[in-house]
Amino acid sequence: MSHKRFYYRLIPVVFLLIALAIWQQADFFQRAAGIHLPKGVTPEFKQVLKIDKPCVDLHPEWRLAQNIDGVKMAESRLCEPDNPYDIAAFVLGMNNISMPTLMSTHIAEDALIKSDDLDGDGDPDIIHIKLEVLELNGATPDSPSVFPQYEIAPGIMPGMWAFSPKLRGMSVKNFRSQKPNAILRAPSPVIRVEQGDKVYITLENTHYFPHTIHFHGVDHAFKTSKGGDNDGVPVTGEKAVMPGKTRTYELQPRHAGTMLYHCHVQTDKHLMMGLVGMFVVEENRPDNWVQTFNVGAGHVRYSSAAIKEKYQREYDLHYQSIDKNLAKTIQQSNDTREISKQMHRVYNMSESNENYFLLNGHSFPYTLRDALIIAKPDENIKLRVANTQHSSIAVHIHGHKATITDYDGVEQNPMAQITRDVFHLAAAQRLDLNLQTTNDGLHSYGEGVWLFHDHVETAVANDGMSPGGNIALMVYENMLTEMGLPELRSDALDDLFSNRYYAKKQVLWGKKEAGTFAPNTLQLILFGLLLGIIVGLIFFIGRGLMRAD
Residue 528 interface partner, choices Cu ion, other proteins, none, CB cut-off 5-8 Å depending on type:
other proteins
- Compute the C-alpha angle 160/163/167, nearest 5°: 110
Task: Give the gyration radius of the chain's Cα atoms.
Answer: 31
Least Å distance, CB 548 to other proteins, is 10
* Burial group, residue 455, by CB count within 10 angstroms (0-12, 13-18, 19+): middle
- Give 11's Cβ-side CA count (13 Å radius): 9
Q: Which residue from 247, 248, 295 is spatially nearest to 87, judged by alpha carbons? A: 295
Q: Which does residue 122 bind out of Cu ion, other proteins, none, counting CB within 5 to 8 angstroms by kind? A: none
Is 6 a binder of other proteins (CB under 8 A)? yes
Closest separation in Å from C-beta 506 to other proteins: 18
The nearest distance, CB 500 to other proteins, in angstroms, is 22
Burial environment of residue 85 by CB neighbours within 10 A (0 to 12, 13 to 18, 19 or more): buried
Min dist CB 505 to other proteins, Å, is 17
Instruction: List, as one string, the DSSP characters of 439-475.
Output: BSSSSB--SSEEEEEESSGGGGSBTTBSS-TT-EEEE
Scanning 154-162, 205-213, 338-346, 533-541 for contacts with other proteins by CB under 8 A, the matching segment is: 533-541
Q: Choose between 35 and 415: whose C-beta lies nearer to other proteins.
A: 35
Pairing outcome for strands 160-165 and 126-136:
antiparallel
The DSSP 8-state label assigned to residue 136 in this structure reads: E
Minimum separation from the CB atom of position 18 to other proteins (A): 13
Neighbours of 120 (CB within 10 A): 8
Q: Pick from Cu ion, other proteins, none: which does 32 bind, CB < 5 to 8 A by kind?
A: other proteins
CB of 11 to other proteins, least distance (A): 14
Question: Which one of Cu ion, other proteins, none interacts with residue 263, CB within 5 to 8 A by kind?
Answer: Cu ion
Looking at the Cβ atoms of 32 and 103, the one nearer to other proteins is 32
Binding site for Cu ion (CB under 5 A): 211, 263, 265, 270
Q: Which of residues 146-165 bind other proteins (CB under 8 A)?
A: none
Residue 407 binds: one of other proteins, Cu ion, none (C-beta under 5 to 8 A by kind): none
30 binds, among other proteins, Cu ion, none (CB under 5 to 8 A by kind): other proteins
Which of 64, 65, 170, 529 is the binder for other proteins (CB under 8 A)? 529
In whole angstroms, how close is the CB of 265 to Cu ion at the nearest point?
4
Q: Of residues 483-522, which lie at the interface with other proteins (CB under 8 A)?
A: 512, 514-519, 521
Rounded Cα distance between 441 and 267, Å, is: 44
Least Å from the CB of residue 492 to other proteins:
23
Residue type for 86, please? D
If contact means CB under 5 to 8 A according to the sort of partner, which of Cu ion, other proteins, none does residue 425 touch? none
Question: What is each CA distance from 549 to 10, 540, 543, in whole angstroms?
Answer: 17, 15, 10
Least distance CB 466 / other proteins (angstroms)? 22
Q: What is the spatial distance between Cα 114 and Cα 475, in angstroms, rounded to a whole number?
A: 36
Which alpha helices (DSSP H) does 79-161 contain, by range?
84-92, 99-103
The one-character DSSP state at 125 is -
Handedness of CA 471, 475, 479, 485 (dihedral sign): positive
Q: How far is the CB of 274 from Cu ion (least distance, A)?
A: 10
Footprint of other proteins on 7-46 (CB under 8 A): 27-40
DSSP 3-state assignment of 95?
Answer: helix
To the nearest whole angstrom, how small is the minimum distance from the Cβ of residue 12 to other proteins?
A: 16
222 binds, among Cu ion, other proteins, none (CB under 5 to 8 A by kind): none
Residue 371 near residue 472 (C-beta atoms within 8 A): yes
Which x/- pattern, by CB under 8 A, does the window 40-79 give for other proteins? x---------------------------------------
Nearer to other proteins, 6 or 222 (CB): 6
535 binds other proteins (CB under 8 A): yes
What are the C-alpha distances in Å from 141 to residues 8, 151, 336, 375? 68, 20, 12, 46
Q: What is the widest separation between alpha-carbon atoms in the chain?
A: 124
Q: How far is CA 82 from the centre of its chain?
A: 18
* CB closer to other proteins out of 235 and 518: 518
Beta bridge partners of 293: 191
Q: Is there binding between residue 420 and other proteins (CB under 8 A)?
A: no
Q: Which does 464 bind (CB under 5 to 8 A by kind): other proteins, Cu ion, none?
A: none
Judged by beta carbon, residue 211 or residue 362, the one nearer Cu ion is: 211
Residues 383/433, Cβ–Cβ less than 8 Å: yes
Binding site for other proteins (CB under 8 A): 3, 6, 27-40, 512, 514-519, 521, 524-537, 539-540, 544
